[in-house]
Amino acid sequence: MKELLDRILGLPRQQKIGILVGLIVALLALDFFFLYSPNSAEISKLTEENEKSRGEREKKKKEVANIPKLKEQMRQLDGMLKEAVAQLPDRKEIPDLLSGISTKVRESGLDILVFRPRGENLQEFYAEIPVDIVVRGPFHNMVIFFDEVGRLSRLVNLSNIEIKNPKPSGDQMIMEASTLATTFRFLDEAERASIAAARAAKDKAGKK
């Protein structure tokens, strides 16, 4: 071994550098084959898990950053729901609402010829309450009545408006107007449960 070292030390400087570089390359190769290569699969797995954890961490950071925005959206939706509920009366308020509509007719200077509520049309979460209305009076007064109904705090839709039988009376034209006024109410929990059960039974019967 000593002779080999003496021989190497006796070589020219350029050759000694070449031998040193070769030894370094050999050591790196040994390190790769004996240390890195057997553990490369484990290293790849750990690297992949690290990237996954980093991605999940970034996702959670974004979710946390969105919490104030989501809370604001929930607050707005809650306000919209309360506003919608405020426009739909419950069952006990319906008679007062219908009485209020008939009062609007008289206050507008019109005569009521027909004011006939129909049966409720039940939907999944609400009920439609249609009312046939026929009034008589000056056209201008009818416009006032329609406008007043549109300004009610409760939701009332006027549809199928038909004007007929115009007759002059002094300096005014008296006519009849028929319309379908529809208001709505939220169903209570028992009513919703009953409708859901009826639909489930119908679907079950249809599958037989």
For 102-160, the pLDDT digits (tens) are: 888 888 999 999 999 888 888 877 888 899 999 999 999 999 998 888 887 777 888 89
Output the pTM of the full model: 0.54
Asked if the structure places residue 207 within a domain, the reply is no
Same domain, 46 and 118: no
Same domain, 98 and 152: yes
Residue that is last in its domain, among 87, 112, 147:
87
Same domain, 114 and 54: no
Q: How many CB atoms lie within 10 A of CB 142?
A: 22
Residue that is last in its domain, among 30, 60, 87:
87
Contact 128, 121 (CB under 8 A): yes
Residue 147: give the domain boundaries: 91-193
Same domain, 21 and 83: yes
Residue that is last in its domain, among 87, 121, 153:
87
Using CB atoms within 10 A of its CB, is residue 134 exposed (0-12), middle (13-18) or buried (19+)? Answer: middle
Same domain, 69 and 98: no
From residue 83, how far is each of 77, 94, 206 by CA, in Å? 10, 18, 39
